Amino acid sequence: MSPAFDRNLGIFLTTIGIIAFMYYTFWLIFLPFIDKDMFIQNFFPHYEYAFIAPMYITLLLLIIGSTFIALVFIKSKGQTNPVVPPTTGEFLWYLDNIVKESKDEFKKELKKIRKNKMLQNQDSSKIPIKNNDF
């Protein structure tokens, strides 16, 4: 589809939406204050339909949307791999590796900080570097 077609379609749908909104708003808010024998009353259905029609339209849209979602789930049921939660052992192994990586990174950063302090103080005996700081 061309951009011009998309633009024209957007303008058309926006115009239809604005007209429908104005019609419904006038029907719901202003029409009850107009006398029943006025000619403008002929352009609108009975007042009770102002509530019944949107209810049925909303219900219809919910049914269509739910059906679409259900069909997509049914169609894609055999195509996807189910997510299997890790076993307790796998989970603990994963956590252990995260902790080890974090400790190693922390040790490296600590060594850098101490090295910088030693260079600033020029006295390495005051800040010893140990392997087992944890």
6, 38: one domain: yes
Range of the domain at 53: 49-80
22, 63: one domain: no
98, 67: one domain: no
Q: Identify the weakest region by mean pLDDT among 20-34, 69-83, 87-101, 117-131.
A: 117-131
**31-51, pLDDT tens digit by residue?**
888 888 898 888 888 888 888
DSSP state of 87: P
Which residue shows structure tokens 């259905």?
Answer: 45
15, 34: one domain: yes
**56-93, pLDDT tens digit by residue?**
999 999 999 999 999 988 887 766 566 667 777 777 77
Q: Which residues contact 134 (CB under 8 A, 6 or more apart)?
A: 103, 107
User: According to the model, what pLDDT value does residue 83 have?
Assistant: 67
User: What total of structural domains would you count in the chain?
Assistant: 3
